[in-house]
Amino acid sequence: MAADETAIVRSELRWSWVVFVTIGVMFAAILFATLAMHDTPPGHNETVDPVTIHVIGEFVEPNLGTTVDAQGGVTTRIVAAQFAFVPQCVVVPQGKPVTFRLTSPDVIHGILVMGTNVNTMVVPGYVSEVHTVFNETGDLLMPCHEFCGIGHSEMLAHVRVVPQSEFHPNAQGKVSCALR
Ligand code: CUA
Provide the pLDDT for residue 41: 65
Position 42 scores a pLDDT of 65
Is 106's C-beta closer than 6 angstroms to any atom of ligand 1? no
Which residues are registered as beta bridge partners of 175? 66
How many angstroms does the Cα of residue 157 sit away from the middle of ligand 1? Answer: 11
Atom of ligand 1 nearest to the CA of 155: 1
pLDDT at 33: 83
Q: Write down the pLDDT at residue 179.
A: 55
Nearest atom of ligand 1 to the alpha carbon of 148: 2
- pLDDT at res. 135: 94
**Full-model pTM:** 0.77
Pocket lining: 148 vs ligand 1, CB cutoff 6 Å: yes
pLDDT tens per residue across span 93-105: 999 999 999 999 9
Instruction: For the chain, list residues with pLDDT below 50.
Output: none
- CB of 79 within 6 A of ligand 1: the answer is no
Atom of ligand 1 nearest to the CA of 152: 2
* 167 CA to centre of ligand 1 in angstroms: 29
- Verify whether ligand 1 is closer than 6 Å to residue 109 (CB atom): yes
**160: Cβ below 6 Å to ligand 1?**
no
Ligand 1 close to Cβ of residue 152 (< 6 A): yes
> How much is the pLDDT for 35?
83
pLDDT of residue 92: 96
